[in-house]
Structure 1
Amino acid sequence: MTTHHGPAGPRLPAPGPMSEAAFRDLYRRLREPAPEGGARGRGALDRLTPERVVAAAAEVRCGRAVSLAAPVETRPGPDSPEPASHRMTAPARPVTGGHGLDFARDRFAMNVHGDVDSHLDALCHVIFDGELYGGVPASTVTPDGAGALTLDLVRDGIVGRGVLLDIPRLRGVPWLDPGDQVTAEDLAAAETAQRATVGPGDLLLVRVGHRLRRRTLGPWDVTRERAGLHPTAMRFPAERGVSVLGSDGNNDAAPSAVAEVAFPVHVLAVNALGLHLLDYLDLEELAEECERLERPHFLCVVAPLRLPAATGSPVNPIAVL
């Protein structure tokens, strides 16, 4: 279990509320630059070139593989009113003996975009002002499925260099309290403190300690309060040119810093920047290993399900250290 990381670093001023006008100005400025190569079809994944994938493989030092996903939650709770369902379909009765062949079978269903299970958001997940990323009309998403920017863009998986920035470690606390918000200055300070480098094509993972707090104190209603990024923090991944953004929380804090926009970080990340988002990861074991090895970089592999018309998928990302 991750514990206190020593003396607290300098506490930066808490970010304040953001007006809708200021948010929309930030949205326009982040949306304007096209990803490298000028192609908008795969969003920020255009930056994850074969050369960068090869370089990411060189980050492996000890061959230690770590899951970044939490166990799928099948029990209802304050953060999981509609938990995943898992039931056995065979055998119909307990097998105590017998002769010949039989099979155990089961069925699984889940709300992909819930507030407890680890999942990936496709680029068609966030609609803002009637558009998807790159100006694609929201009408391409219908009750029968999405027709553009779907999960099919990552059917071959995402493989690249992962970088963990541990904000509780920076602040000398086990976790951030619900409602706390991470700034671009926090991210830059964590990068310096951990001797990390965040660059083009990277998979940037930001730990806020959500999973550790949940395990220690129990689940709570995260729709009301949760730690996450402040909208202005999105300048950091935009300037560094990352390809994927993930967190052990929702990425968005609650309550929102923008009263008129409930999920401003989702809007900026997915809709403006074309970033695939990883929500509700479990970064505790990874944080321990990165601290032990004094290496915040690793090879990261994300393999979503093959659901061509879907807006997201449960995932079990793997970090290889």
Structure 2
Amino acid sequence: MVERVSDARMDALFEKVKNWGRWGDDDERGTLNLLTPEHTARAARNVVGRTVNCGRVLPVAPSVENPVPAQHMMILAGDARHGTGVPGAEACIDYIGLAFHGLGVSHLDALCHVFHEGVMYNGRPASDVMSTGATRNSVMAMAGGVASRGVLLDIPRTRGVDWLEPGDGVTPDDLDAACEAQGVQVGPGDILLVSTGRDARREAEGPWDPGHGLAGLDGECVPWLAERDIAMLGCDGANDIMPPNTNRWPLPIHVCCLVAMGVHLLDNLDLSGLAAVCEEERRWEFLFTVSPLQIQGGTGSPVNPVAVV
């Protein structure tokens, strides 16, 4: 583990990119305020019509990637189909329970998920998240769902490799190079997706403990993201490089996006199918939709985002 970006540098970047008060002292939506009906309509008009699932299959078996799997069990199965309590009605019913934060489940981070020195987005104290859930900045800020222009930056493609190695950092130069190579620009209200080739590496090399190494965005990408006023950020990893920094800023992307800028994060997406379709269509922009569960006081939600290319 190394100190990739110093404390002093990250302290300065955090203050520089703060959006606290930009949309009012009571705001809980952050950069989702940048989304307009016109922005969504424009994204919808430009699609070809191919839909691509960007969520990973819910992991129900323990693995090195996901030591706390989701629980999936049957309340009624086919052999007990008459147990509905309604005469003549036959059905099967199942139950799902999961701890979605971590490195195995595709999920959304709400603005209350991370703190910096005891404070979350818009200066709200950590005490606003209690044992019963969050009273501020919860996932309910996204209760209506999001549909916006998505842009995929395929970093392995730009570098001419199949995947980034664990612990590798995506730099602002990588983001600029991907934009140029793909002929796209990232702008206000966009949902930016960054591919590191995690799923391609797993397919070729087998699973590994992502906590011991996972490619992600270097802390120096923070000003790049802020300058473009993105609405959301997603990655096929943890967005941050793993393992974490060893200083006061172990997860600079999470802290600067969620706490300073108010940018909701999407972790552990499966971008392999989207990257393949974008390559086939020779276009890396699309309509991107995210619909989290409506969890009162929730710090996030499992998600299965869909891109319409």
The TM-score with structure 1 as length reference comes to 0.90
User: Which of residues 5, 12, 18 in structure 2 aligns to 1:31?
Assistant: 18
1:68 counterpart residue number: 54
User: Which of residues 124, 134, 139 in structure 2 aligns to 1:151?
Assistant: 139
1:167 counterpart residue number: 155
2:186 counterpart residue number: 198
1:307 counterpart residue number: 295
Gaps of at least 5 residues in structure 2 are none
Q: Secondary structure at the match of 2:140?
A: helix
Give 1:67's aligned amino acid.
N
Distance 2:78 2:279 in 1: 48
RMSD after superposition: 2.0
Instruction: Mark the CA change 1:234 to 1:313 in structure 2 (over 3 Å): closer, same or farther.
Output: same
Distance 2:230 2:246 in 1: 24
Distance 2:248 2:158 in 1: 31
Answer yes or no: is the 8 Å Cα contact 2:20–2:122 preserved in 1: no
Instruction: Mark the CA change 1:238 to 1:125 in structure 2 (over 3 Å): closer, same or farther.
Output: same
1:275 counterpart residue number: 263
Residues 23-172 of structure 1 aligned to structure 2 (within 5 Å): 23-31=10-18, 35=22, 40-61=27-48, 63-91=49-77, 93=79, 100-172=88-160
1:6 counterpart residue number: none
Answer yes or no: is the 8 Å Cα contact 1:59–1:161 preserved in 2: no
Residues 1:261 and 2:249 are matched in the alignment: yes
Deviation track 1:46-72 (CA, whole Å, cap 9, x = no partner) reads 1111221111112212x1111000100
User: Which of residues 215, 221, 230 in structure 2 aligns to 1:242?
Assistant: 230
Q: How many residues align?
A: 304
Distance 1:175 1:284 in 2: 11
Distance 1:52 1:264 in 2: 29
Distance 2:304 2:211 in 1: 24
Q: Secondary structure at the match of 2:165?
A: coil
Instruction: Mark the CA change 1:302 to 1:203 in structure 2 (over 3 Å): closer, same or farther.
Output: same
Give 1:26's aligned amino acid.
L
Deviation track 1:91-146 (CA, whole Å, cap 9, x = no partner) reads 384679xx942210110011110211100000111111111101011111001110
Deviation track 1:194-244 (CA, whole Å, cap 9, x = no partner) reads 001110000000000112212322221111211000011122221111000
Give 2:236's aligned amino acid.
D
1:288 counterpart residue number: 276
Give 1:18's aligned amino acid.
V
Q: Secondary structure at the match of 1:223?
A: helix
Distance 1:275 1:183 in 2: 19
Give 1:56's aligned amino acid.
A
Distance 1:75 1:224 in 2: 20
1:22 counterpart residue number: 9
Distance 1:253 1:52 in 2: 31
Instruction: Mark the CA change 1:279 to 1:130 in structure 2 (over 3 Å): closer, same or farther.
Output: same
Answer yes or no: is the 8 Å Cα contact 1:20–1:258 preserved in 2: no
Shift of 1:302: 0.5
Distance 2:163 2:295 in 1: 34
Answer yes or no: is the 8 Å Cα contact 2:155–2:195 preserved in 1: yes
Answer yes or no: is the 8 Å Cα contact 1:56–1:161 preserved in 2: yes
Distance 2:222 2:145 in 1: 24
Shift of 1:24: 1.0
Give 1:254's aligned amino acid.
M
Q: Secondary structure at the match of 1:129?
A: coil
Instruction: Mark the CA change 1:205 to 1:188 in structure 2 (over 3 Å): closer, same or farther.
Output: same
Q: Secondary structure at the match of 1:112?
A: coil
The share of aligned pairs that are identical, in percent, is 43
Deviation track 1:232-258 (CA, whole Å, cap 9, x = no partner) reads 112222111100000010101112345
Instruction: Mark the CA change 1:273 to 1:209 in structure 2 (over 3 Å): closer, same or farther.
Output: same
The TM-score with structure 2 as length reference comes to 0.93
Distance 1:192 1:34 in 2: 34
Answer yes or no: is the 8 Å Cα contact 1:35–1:46 preserved in 2: no
1:184 counterpart residue number: 172
Answer yes or no: is the 8 Å Cα contact 2:28–2:136 preserved in 1: no
